Amino acid sequence: MLLRLKCGFACRTEITGFAEAVVNFTDNFVSAREQTEKPEFPFRTVSTQKSDHVYIQVEGCEFLIGLALSKIQNAAAEYSLFLPAIQNVLAGSYKMFRLFFGEFSSFRKRNQQKFKERLEYFFGRYLPLLKLHRMPLLDYLNGAAFLPLNGPEYLNVVSLSSELEEEFPIIEKVLILYQDKVLYYSISRRDLPSLFRYITQSLLPMTIGDELDYQSRSTHGRFLRGPSDITVDAPLVGDDALPTVHIYNYSEAEDIEELVRYQMMVYRSLNATVCMFTTHEVTRRLMRNIDGYLGSELSKVASQIGECVGSQNADILSTPDFHYIYYNPASLSLTSSFTDSTDAPKAPLPPPEVNKLVCSSLTGFLSEADEFGECFAKSESEWWIVLKKVNSRLLCLLLPPSSNQQSLADIQTRTLGIIKTHFEAIFFN
């Protein structure tokens, strides 16, 4: 059970006891079928007069992680609480811990005292700094931003990945990004959101100053982590050691995915980033060879992508008169006008009641199991919400009040026009 650091022993005991009581009591109402078909992270929610509580169980229900949110503070911040989104945020925090330190059970067996200290250190820093989206649907879907590319540019990226792994068989998995968007990955889908969040929200921002200074002196790429000097053949230990992550690997023999500890090399050139993962020994000589290869090949691909992105129609990259969320569960691609960093003018942000209506409409009218579906809703503030699912892909449109969209027929016509102009290539191909 995760507790705030300022909470004393008696307080911790009380909170933990309450959480365990909630889980144990509600287990009495879970059917035998639901017990045998438990999701990866079973969860419970409790609403009291002052707060909302969310608990998730991890690692075969051996551990419990919980969070309480003040209703007064939520109202003051005009945050639309959607408990399934908070459930996914908690699961994401556990996955982030697992990414760096492995599973709770394994860590505790190795050193229980260090395990407790690491829990408090990690979650005590991670959760307070965690920023929730004002649109809870973004936290609920939990995907990664992808950069749409034309066929030739995408093939160049795939070819780069294939040739890199062929040239260096020690590399077992890769993740390639341009700026802060995914281009290609061969890691497990279940690891993509956590790795993407770490790289785009922590690793790249921390190294941007060094990168600007480096690019002022050289156009060649460089490794973002590990030894600063790869010209010598000293062992990679101490500050020169590569970071390690725990990600899933598919075992053909047992037909399951197993959590495996990998070394991670991160190489960047001209806004393009290649993350390489291996379970084998990495030497400075290997890093020199990779640097010699990617220094020229990655810069070529990055230049081509930069030209492609620069030539794209600005109208496609921004939507000034409406908001949208697009999610493809097959690839975990998640794009949204709420997270778009362009400077183009945008529609006004929807009020909290619209954010809440979007979430309730999605969970109330469109089942996750349904591959096709459609829902139209109108808020009290005259916003229209359009939810469409085609081949499991979800498109959510939020249309501000307008004198030109009074009836459902007007909205249907407007929706068809928006899809044809902005989303036809990715939504109805």
Walk me through the domains of the chain, giving residue ranges and CATH numbers: 9-136 (no CATH), 151-314 (3.30.450.30), 323-423 (no CATH)
**pLDDT for the residue numbered 209:** 61
135, two tokens = 């649109």
CA distance 411 to 423: 16
**pLDDT for the residue numbered 211:** 56
Which residues are paired to 47 by β-bridges?
Answer: 52
Closest CA to 337 of 166, 156, 145: 145
Query: What SS3 state is found at 203?
Result: helix
**pLDDT for the residue numbered 166:** 96
Q: Which residue has the tokens 């939990």?
A: 142
Q: CA 149 from chain center: how many Å?
A: 20
Between CA 247 and CA 237, with CA 261 as vertex, the angle to 5 degrees is 135
**pLDDT for the residue numbered 5:** 44
Which residues are paired to 58 by β-bridges?
Answer: 63
**pLDDT for the residue numbered 321:** 85
Q: CA 347 from chain center: how many Å?
A: 25
| Helix segments in 28-70, DSSP class H | 32-36
379, two tokens = 């808020």
CA distance 416 to 427: 12
Other beta carbons within 10 angstroms of residue 38's beta carbon come to 12
Query: What SS3 state is found at 234?
Result: coil
Q: Report yes or no: 271 and 310 within 8 Å, Cβ to Cβ.
A: no
What is the 8-class DSSP label of residue 135? S
Between CA 247 and CA 253, with CA 250 as vertex, the angle to 5 degrees is 140
Between CA 200 and CA 210, with CA 205 as vertex, the angle to 5 degrees is 135
Q: What amino acid occupies position 59?
A: E
Q: What amino acid occupies position 274?
A: V
From residue 149, alpha-carbon distances to 59, 142, 158 in Å are 38, 22, 12
373, two tokens = 């579906």
Between CA 112 and CA 121, with CA 117 as vertex, the angle to 5 degrees is 145
Between CA 153 and CA 160, with CA 159 as vertex, the angle to 5 degrees is 90
**pLDDT for the residue numbered 102:** 95
Q: What does DSSP say about strands 333-336 and 373-378: parallel, antiparallel, or unpaired?
A: unpaired
Other beta carbons within 10 angstroms of residue 3's beta carbon come to 18
69, two tokens = 């949110």
User: Residues with Cβ < 8 Å from 23, sequence gap 6 or more?
Assistant: 44, 55, 57, 64
What is the 8-class DSSP label of residue 238? G
Q: What amino acid occupies position 413?
A: T
CA distance 355 to 222: 42
From residue 70, alpha-carbon distances to 6, 57, 91, 280 in Å are 17, 22, 20, 47
188, two tokens = 């497990």
What Rg value do the Cα atoms of the chain yield, rounded? 24
User: Residues with Cβ < 8 Å from 84, sequence gap 6 or more?
Assistant: 140, 359, 363
pTM over 0.85: yes
CA dihedral of 214, 195, 123, 75, whole degrees rounded to 10 = 100
The pLDDT tens digits along the chain (429 residues) read 444 445 566 766 777 787 888 777 777 776 666 666 678 888 888 888 888 889 999 998 889 998 888 889 888 888 888 999 999 999 999 999 999 999 999 999 999 999 999 998 898 888 777 888 889 999 999 899 999 888 889 999 999 999 999 999 999 999 999 999 999 999 999 999 999 999 999 999 887 765 555 554 455 789 999 998 999 989 999 989 999 999 999 877 677 889 999 999 999 998 999 999 999 999 999 999 999 999 989 999 999 898 887 666 444 545 468 999 999 999 999 999 988 766 666 788 999 999 999 999 998 888 778 889 999 999 999 999 999 999 899 999 999 998 787 789 999 999 999 988 888 776 654
